[in-house]
Amino acid sequence: MVTYLYWSAVFVVVIAVTYIIGVKLGKWKIGLIAGLVILALGWSSYYFRFQQIFVKRYGGVMTIQVPKGQHHLGATWKDDNLWIENYDPQSNSCIFSEYSKGNLLQGRVTLKNCNPLLPSVIPTGATE
């Protein structure tokens, strides 16, 4: 919901600035340029700063696709960055992927020989 409110506010400001400068002052070229600059600032602010904050703190909207051939295991937040754990059965590894603000600093941790989807086999003669 917060995401929709943010974009509504950005579009209202863009339309207002374009209208005031274009219609009231009669400078359409400057009004359109100012509107585009505000729209670009709104988009970059959302993508590089606000998206994950809105999702984590205020119930915003975000979509992440699980890579083809992998199985989703879990997700957690570390500060304002989202960490997703997936399992890749082809390489038998668990992959932790970080989704940071603007995807600038993406961490990735791979655990080899990780097989969380199958029960562990206890060797014959071993006790628990």
What are the per-10-residue average pLDDT scores of the chain (128 residues)? Answer: 88 95 90 95 89 82 86 88 89 87 74 74 53
DSSP state of 105: S
User: Helix 2-19 and helix 28-45: axis angle, to 10°?
Assistant: 160
- Position 124 scores a pLDDT of 57
Q: Are 67 and 89 within 8 A, CB to CB?
A: no
- Position 17 scores a pLDDT of 95
- Position 13 scores a pLDDT of 96
- Position 41 scores a pLDDT of 96
